[in-house]
A and B are shown apart, each in its own frame.
Chain A
Amino acid sequence: EPEVTQTPSHQVTQMGQEVILRCVPISNHLYFYWYRQILGQKVEFLVSFYNNEISEKSEIFDDQFSVERPDGSNFTLKIRSTKLEDSAMYFCASSDRPSSYNSPLHFGNGTRLTVT
């Protein structure tokens, strides 16, 4: 069964550094998402992306964050200047249609980001 893949599985970075988290969504999917989960807390929505533009973003997704689909397969999340509180699991997800159209989200296994 096709799956969403994320790399790296674990990223350690120093405060203030830029990080790029990478995702390869399922190939025929058109809707892409990033979520994050701080240890012991809820899975929180960050951003959704469709047709090469952001369709929705949360308050968490401030100017430090950006997303890009640089080619036909990758979907990236960039954090420009990491803070300690950015330490979390970051999950990428994709779907073939909007989830209101009875289409589930398919999640990757996440990248654990540790900011020191």
Chain B
Amino acid sequence: SQQGEEDPQALSIQEGENATMNCSYKTSINNLQWYRQNSGRGLVHLILIRSNEREKHSGRLRVTLDTSKKSSSLLITASRAADTASYFCAPRTGTAGNKLTFGGGTRVLVKP
């Protein structure tokens, strides 16, 4: 199972601004999933984008996928203090068992 590499490692923005984070991976995928982790809590699934999709929206979240570059981005628009969390991508291949593997994530701090 491969893990994604998130970039940047940390991001600090003002409330109302947009936050963009990127994910790169190495081998072809079936889907790529984004998760959020608030401090001390479990991971929460945000969006799953399939390999044949290029963009997906969910509320204030927008995810893009570029399989030719093996990269994905997560955009949070009009950020709120409650968006302060760590964000992880998890690329899924079809032959690597069921587990998801997580990288170091992007720590996002939204200042009020």
Which residue numbers of A lie inside 8 Å of B, CB to CB?
4, 31, 33, 42-45, 48, 50, 55-56, 89, 91, 93, 95, 98-102, 104-110, 112
B51 (CB) vs chain A CBs: closest residue: A102
* B interface, CB within 8 angstroms of A: 1, 30-31, 33, 37, 40-45, 48, 50, 88, 90, 92-105
Contact among A45, A48, A107 with B42 in the assembled complex (CB-CB below 8 Å): A107
- What residues of A have a CB within 8 angstroms of the CB of B90 in the complex? 99
CB-CB < 8 A to A102: which residues of B?
Answer: 30-31, 48, 50
On whether the beta carbons of B98 and A99 are closer than 8 Å, the reply is yes
Known A95-B98, A107-B43; further 5 A-B contacts with Cβ < 8 A: A42-B105, A48-B98, A98-B97, A104-B45, A105-B45
CB-based contact A42/B98 at 8 Å: no
